[in-house]
Each structure stands twice: as structure tokens, then as C-alpha cells.
């Protein structure tokens, strides 16, 4: 398994290009199952999770053509043509679903277009139990018959799904995506109340509209979808990744550097910008994206609570905690989305961080210096947070088990090294 070695203490300076959003791409790709025509997605990031989704779609019968390569510096990232002219198989097997929870997003489209789907239950993961009961209840309300057997969700519908009023008891990003896709081909109107409002949902809704779907209320908590008989092909560019943007903004801040993040937009991450500004970092818009400047400031402790969008994202909690370990004063971080998302805490403590966890809250008391150590990455965002801590720490940090990182960050060590970081990947033998 690969490891990442960092010798910390260099303020980052330069520019970093931000790619297309992983979480948007992972919901846009299964949308191709809703039509027999070609869906072309540009600004696609080059990530392991994208390959896993491509493999899953291929075994449903989707043919794909990939053009461009962002690793060669193409400004538009990669472009993927997906064509589900015929769906040859409606089973999403355990071996693929267990690798990536977003696989559950084939359920709604398969059911809506083909009347049946058999999808392995995703199960829990390092950050929590993560049930999918809201997805299943919504599809049942739309007329699907759903049974669970041998770890699989078996879903059927006679004819088309029927429009329904879905009220989610709690905001669910995946649940909103599955229901929205299913509703585009349902008979009649579907209303999704308490819908998630994340930029990735807006991206999905806009892509579906480009494919001929009728959706109102995009970007609000209530989506109204008038089902149509068929969708058609479209071309769509994936929104910039707000979590990658936020992660590199923290890289600039934690090293007290000055970095321009290009190809991204401030408005996608207002809550993160607010927290960084409160802690003393200056963020300004530039022609190419935004500039994060922390070379002449004192970072001060700031309280954070994760919430559904537009609140502070759970996917940025670990990175902000890394920054807060180096701040003046104390911060309180509260995680409200997942029950077990502090796996990075003991690893940061091995680097000298002072953190106390009480239930869903963590008190972080800033220290003058972190010190390099051997640490273990446990999930995607924990992995990047340990790299961020390593960039600030004195001496050498070795982040082990970095395969999670490649699921969500493209060429991370190259992007950081180009801004002066002393970072390298050590290839493992397995
Ligand atoms: C969540 C995050 C998303 C993030 C992703 C990966 C939120 C609201 N969602 O999306 O921003 O990118 O993780 O880290 O911040 N739940 C149920 N039953 C369900 C579905 C969800 O109880 O059927 C609960 C979950 O356990 C969780 C909450 O609802 O506590 C939100 O889950 P959901 O938004 O669906 O999770 P993801 O789509 O994975």
C-alpha cells in the first residue's frame, strides 16, 4: 500500500487547479441510465471512485468513451460519453457496492427506466452506520415493491413509477438524488420536501433538465418534478469540487502561505469561507478562482458545527480540525451528520494535537507546533486532514494506508509539491 511522506514547515505559495466535484460526478454518471441516448460529462475528475462507478455502469450495459486527461494539464478535465442504449443487467453486485456507497445511486434510475433493480445493501463504513431507509421508503411511496433478501435490495414496479409527495424526515443527499432521478420518468408530479440543497444536487437537477426533465425549485428545499415519458442525451460540465477547494484552502492556511485556487468558485463554499475568515485567513475572488492568504495573520480558534448545505459540510470537518490544532486558543467542533467521524483525532494527537472528544463534540486547544509522526489514514477526509497536519508539523510525517485518498483527491502530492511542499508518495508493494 502506498504511503505519503511529508517534511512539514514550508509555507505554500503558488497556484492549484481544482477539478470537477467527485460527489457531483458520482450522481451525474448514473443519470445516464435514464435514457437510451448519450450523456456527455466534461470536467470529470480522475479518481478511483469514478473508475469504480464506470465499472458498475459497464456491467449494467453502459458503453463509455473517455477523452482528454486532466493529468496532462487539459483545462477541461476529462470528458466521458456514457450510453445506456440497452440495459443488459439490473444487478449491482456486493463486490462493487462495498467499494463505494454511491453505487446505491443506480437504484432509482434502473427502477424508473427498466422497472426493476437488484442492488446490494451498502452497509456501514468507517464514519457511521449510514442507512438507506429513506431512499427505499421514497421509492415505495412511488409505487415500487421492495424486498430485502440476502443483503440485496430487490425493487420492482409494474409499468411506470407514480408521482408522490415525499417528505424526508432528515436531509439526505443520496436519498434526494435517487428520488429526483426516479421522479423524472414517473407518471405525474413528485414533490420532494426537505430536499438536500447541496451544489451537487443542483448540478444533478440542471443536468436532468438538459436531458429533458421538468424540475422546479432547483436549489431550494422543495423540488417539484413533472415526470416525462423519456429523457434524451445531453452535454454537461461537472461543477468544481468545493471540498477539494476547501481542503487546499486549509493547506494554504495551515502553512501560513498564500495560494490561488483556480477553476473554482467562492459561492460554492460560503460557510467554509466564513469559518476561515473568522479564524483570520483572507480569501478573495480572483479572475481564475480565489486566493487564500494566511502569511501575515494569526490563526485563532473558531467554533464549527457540521450541518446540511448551506451549513458547514461534514466533508470539511477533519480538515478544519487540523487547522484548529495550530490556532491560538480553543475551538469547539460539533459533528451532527455522522456518529463516528472523529477517527482522525487519535492520529492527530500522535502528532502533538490537544483534542478532547465528548460525544459528538471535540474541544481542540491549539498548540504552537505539531510534530511529525507515523499516522494511519482511516477514511477519505481523515486522510487529507493528516496530510494537512503533516504540512504544518515540524519534521517528518508518514501517512500510511493512503488508498482512501485516491478515491477523492487527484494528484494531491503533485499539486502540493508545485506550491513548495516537501511531499512524496512512496509506492507500496501490494
Ligand atoms: C453525506 C453528506 C454529504 C457528504 C457525504 C459523504 C449531508 C447531509 N450529507 O451524504 O454532504 O458528501 O455524506 O461524506 O451532509 N440517513 C438515514 N437514512 C437514509 C439516508 C440517510 O438515516 O436513508 C441519515 C444518515 O445516517 C446521516 C444523514 O441522514 O446521518 C445524512 O445522510 P445522507 O445525506 O443521505 O448521506 P450521504 O448521501 O452519504
Grid coordinates given for 141: 411511496
Closest CA to 316 of 216, 238, 242: 242
Nine-digit cell at 185?
Answer: 420518468
Beta-strand relationship, 116-120 and 91-92: parallel
Question: Which residues are CB-neighbours of 346 under 8 A, at least 6 positions away?
Answer: none
List the one residue out of 254, 211, 16 whose CA is nearest residue 113. Answer: 211
Q: How many residues does the chain have?
A: 430
Q: What pLDDT, on a 0 to 100 scale, did the predictor assign at position 358?
A: 94
Would you say the CB of residue 131 lies under 6 angstroms from ligand 1?
yes
Residue 199: Cβ within 10 Å count: 21
Successive 10-residue mean pLDDT values, the chain, 430 residues: 95 97 97 98 94 96 84 64 97 93 96 97 72 96 96 96 98 98 98 98 98 98 98 98 98 98 96 98 97 94 97 98 98 93 96 97 97 93 96 97 90 97 88
Q: Please name the residues in contact with 86: beta carbons below 8 A apart, sequence gap of 6 or more.
A: 36, 61
Q: Is 133 in the pocket of ligand 1 (CB under 6 A)?
A: yes
Mutate to test the pocket of ligand 1, among 146, 173, 241, 318 (most ligand atoms within 8 A of CB): 173
- Do 24 and 102 touch, CB atoms closer than 8 A? no
Phi and psi dihedrals of 15, rounded to 5? Answer: -130, 145
Which pLDDT score is estimated for 77?
Answer: 65
d(CA 113, CA 327): 52
314 lines ligand 1 (CB under 6 A): yes
Q: Which atom of ligand 1 is nearest to the CA of 129?
A: 26
Q: What is the pLDDT of residue 72?
A: 46
Measured distance CA(201)–CA(70) in Å, rounded = 24
Q: Which three cell numbers stand for residue 192?
A: 420532494
Phi-psi region of 123 (alpha: psi -120 to 50; beta: other; left: phi over 0): left
Ligand 1 centroid, distance to 201 Cα (angstroms): 13
Q: What is the 196 CA–ligand 1 centroid distance (Å)?
A: 10
Amino acid at each position: 500500500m502506498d504511503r505519503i511522506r511529508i517534511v512539514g514547515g514550508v509555507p505554500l505559495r503558488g497556484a492549484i487547479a481544482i477539478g470537477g466535484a467527485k460527489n457531483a460526478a458520482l450522481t451525474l454518471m448514473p443519470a445516464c441510465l435514464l435514457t437510451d441516448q448519450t450523456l456527455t460529462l466534461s470536467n470529470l475528475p480522475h479518481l478511483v471512485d469514478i473508475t469504480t462507478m464506470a465499472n458498475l455502469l459497464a456491467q449494467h450495459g453502459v458503453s463509455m468513451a473517455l477523452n482528454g486527461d486532466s493529468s496532462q494539464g487539459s483545462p477541461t478535465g476529462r470528458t466521458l460519453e456514457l450510453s445506456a442504449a440497452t440495459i443488459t443487467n439490473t444487478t449491482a453486485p456486493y463486490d462493487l457496492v462495498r467499494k463505494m456507497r454511491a453505487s446505491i445511486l443506480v437504484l432509482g434510475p434502473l427502477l424508473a427506466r427498466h422497472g426493476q433493480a437488484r442492488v446490494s445493501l451498502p452497509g456501514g463504513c468507517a464514519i457511521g452506520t449510514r442507512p438507506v431507509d429513506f431512499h427505499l421508503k421514497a421509492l415505495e411511496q412511488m409505487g415500487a415493491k421492495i424486498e430485502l433478501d440476502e443483503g440485496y435490495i430487490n425493487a420492482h414496479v409494474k409499468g411506470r413509477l407514480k408521482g408522490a409527495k415525499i417528505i424526508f424526515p432528515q436531509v439526505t443527499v443520496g436519498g434526494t438524488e435517487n428520488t429526483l432521478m426516479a421522479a423524472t420518468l414517473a407518471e405525474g408530479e413528485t414533490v420532494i420536501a426537505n430536499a438536500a440543497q447541496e451544489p451537487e444536487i443542483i448540478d444533478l437537477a440542471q443536468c436532468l433538465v438538459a436531458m429533458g426533465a421538468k424540475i422546479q425549485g432547483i436549489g431550494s428545499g422543495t423540488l417539484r418534478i413533472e415526470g416525462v415519458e423519456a429523457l434524451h442525451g445531453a452535454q454537461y460540465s461537472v461543477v468544481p469540487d468545493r471540498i477539494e477547494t476547501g481542503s487546499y484552502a486549509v493547506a494554504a492556511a495551515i502553512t501560513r502561505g498564500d495560494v490561488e485556487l483556480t477553476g473554482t468558485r467562492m459561492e460554492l463554499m460560503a460557510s467554509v469561507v466564513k469559518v476561515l475568515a473568522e479564524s483570520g485567513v483572507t480569501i478573495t475572488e480572483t479572475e481564475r478562482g480565489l486566493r487564500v492568504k494566511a502569511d501575515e495573520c494569526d490563526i485563532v480558534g473558531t467554533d464549527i458545527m457540521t450541518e446540511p448545505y448551506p451549513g458547514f459540510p461534514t466533508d470539511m470537518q477533519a480538515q478544519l480540525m487540523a487547522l484548529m490544532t495550530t490556532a491560538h486558543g480553543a475551538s469547539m467542533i460539533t459533528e451532527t451528520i455522522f456518529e463516528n467521524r472523529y477517527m482522525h483525532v487519535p492520529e492527530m494527537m500522535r502528532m502533538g494535537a490537544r483534542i478532547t472528544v465528548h460525544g459528538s463534540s471535540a474541544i481542540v486547544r491549539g498548540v504552537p507546533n505539531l510534530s511529525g509522526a507515523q499516522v494511519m489514514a482511516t477514511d477519505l477526509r481523515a486522510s487529507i486532514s493528516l496530510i494537512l497536519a503533516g504540512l504544518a508539523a515540524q519534521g517528518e510525517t508518514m501517512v500510511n494506508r493512503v488508498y482512501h485518498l485516491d478515491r477523492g483527491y487527484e494528484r494531491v502530492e503533485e499539486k502540493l509539491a508545485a506550491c513548495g511542499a516537501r511531499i512524496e508518495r512512496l509506492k507500496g508493494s501490494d
